[in-house]
């Protein structure tokens, strides 16, 4: 019997990242609800729904209007870190949290929030220094734990199964700074281990990394494949799955022990399309599967433990492309099954 985090009925389905190329947060509700995995989204055209601002504003001392500055006193620090009560952004900062949780019952529902090290990297003190310190990392870990709890409390009466994805686009930039000894009191091991503690036990954990996932094997430990099982979303457009056999073996073990992949094979900008979304999906997915196989990744494990996705969010996509992707990927499982059959999966 499979121990995969990914239910069989979701294999090959569309895993939405989060941001949309829309302007009105009410418009996507209809097409999001049609998906096998409806998901909480951000309309980043709206100032308040930026992935840092929509959560950071909950801290008293966070500068919301200009740059992401935070000037926090000891009282506020303790109020965030010494309580475990759930936090939830208001509707102005997270419209979909409220517009989708409207009495509709969902068997599966995906939501997301920003990972703590990306929050650290993206905010600065008033002297301009980044908040890449153990003290501020602890603050954001505490904040995001409380937001995760608040999301579950808000959604669980409507959602039978919740996928919680942590979005961590800045981790690669933090690793570069670590390589230059510019982050003296944090280690990658600390960041990864602590970030994993944010997932409430009730959720299916997921993680979105939009930099070069192939380079996360550091000192013999891969940040994704040697970590606890989760759905790992990876960009295969900019970073095709051409990897060494050692990493392929780790990826196989990750999938064998319950992990799953959201294969980011679709471009997220209009200029990258010369064919229809359906044709692009089938071609890019076949290329990715072939590269995985040639690298030593098991086709059978991929066939059982994969979703399909865009390479990253759709904030830079046109409204037309955003809607075409969602309409086309209602049928993504059929395309996935065809590609896997052609690739030799049984």
Q: Three-class SS of residue 292?
A: helix
| Percent helix / strand / coil, the chain, rounded to 5 | 40, 15, 40
What pLDDT, in 10s, does the model give residues 125-183?
Answer: 887 788 889 999 999 999 999 999 999 999 999 999 999 999 999 999 999 999 999 99
- For residue 188, give every residue at least 6 positions away whose Cβ sits within 8 Å of its Cβ, in sequence order, or none: 175, 178, 218, 223
What pLDDT, in 10s, does the model give residues 125-134?
Answer: 887 788 889 9
pLDDT given for residue 1 in this prediction = 39
Residue 246: CB atoms within 10 A of its CB come to 12
The pTM is what?
A: 0.95
* Residue corresponding to tokens 């009925």: 9
- For residue 330, give every residue at least 6 positions away whose Cβ sits within 8 Å of its Cβ, in sequence order, or none: 14, 34, 35, 36
Q: How far apart are CA 17 and CA 312, in angstroms?
A: 6
Read off the tokens for 185: 């009191």
Sign (positive/negative) of CA torsion 240, 244, 248, 254?
negative
Statement: residue 231 has pLDDT above 70: yes
* Residue corresponding to tokens 């985090």: 5
- Mean pLDDT over 288-305 rounds to 97
- Pinpoint the alpha helices (H) of 156-187: 171-179
Give the N- to C-terminal CA distance of the chain in Å, as an integer.
Answer: 16
**For 264, phi and psi rounded to 5 degrees?**
-80, 75
For residues 317, 323, 325, 328, the Cα torsion angle rounded to the nearest 10 degrees is -170
Query: Mean of the per-residue pLDDT values for the chain?
Result: 94
What pLDDT, in 10s, does the model give residues 190-222?
Answer: 999 999 999 999 999 999 998 999 999 888 899
pLDDT given for residue 50 in this prediction = 92
Q: How far apart are CA 107 and CA 109, in angstroms?
A: 7
Strands 231-235 and 260-266, by their bridges, are parallel
């Amino acid at each position: 019997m499979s121990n995969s985090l990914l239910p069989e009925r979701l294999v090959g389905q569309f895993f939405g990242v989060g941001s949309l190329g829309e302007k009105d947060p009410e418009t996507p509700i209809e097409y999001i609800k049609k998906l096998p995995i409806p998901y909480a989204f951000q309309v980043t055209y709206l100032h308040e729904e930026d992935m840092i601002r929509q959560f950071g504003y909950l801290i008293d001392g966070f500068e919301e209007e200009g740059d992401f500055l935070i000037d926090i006193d000891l009282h506020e620090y303790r109020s965030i870190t010494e309580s475990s009560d759930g936090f939830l952004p208001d509707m102005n900062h997270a419209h979909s949290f409220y517009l989708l949780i409207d009495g509709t019952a969902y068997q599966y529902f995906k939501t997301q929030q920003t990972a703590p090290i990306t929050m650290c990297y993206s905010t600065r003190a008033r002297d301009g220094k980044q908040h890449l310190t153990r003290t501020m990392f602890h603050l954001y870990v505490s904040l995001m734990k409380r937001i995760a709890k608040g999301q579950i409390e808000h959604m669980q009466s409507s959602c039978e199964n919740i996928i919680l994805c942590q979005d961590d686009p800045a981790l690669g930039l933090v690793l570069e700074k670590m390589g230059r000894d510019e982050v003296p009191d944090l280690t990658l091991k600390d960041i990864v281990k602590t970030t994993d503690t944010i997932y409430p036990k009730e959720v299916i954990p997921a993680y979105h990394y939009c930099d070069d996932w192939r380079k996360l094997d550091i000192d013999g430990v891969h940040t994704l494949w040697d970590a606890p099982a989760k759905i790992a979303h990876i960009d295969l457009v900019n970073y095709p799955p051409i990897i060494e056999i050692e990493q392929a073996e780790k990826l196989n073990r990750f999938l064998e022990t319950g992990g799953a992949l959201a294969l980011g094979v679709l471009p997220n900008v209009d200029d990258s399309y010369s064919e229809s979304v359906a044709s692009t999906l089938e071609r890019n997915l076949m290329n990715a599967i072939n590269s995985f196989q040639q690298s030593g990744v098991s086709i059978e494990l991929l066939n059982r433990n994969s979703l399909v996705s865009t390479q990253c969010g759709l904030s830079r996509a046109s409204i037309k492309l955003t809607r075409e992707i969602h309409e086309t990927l209602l049928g993504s499982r059929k395309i996935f099954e065809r590609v896997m059959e052609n690739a030799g999966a049984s």
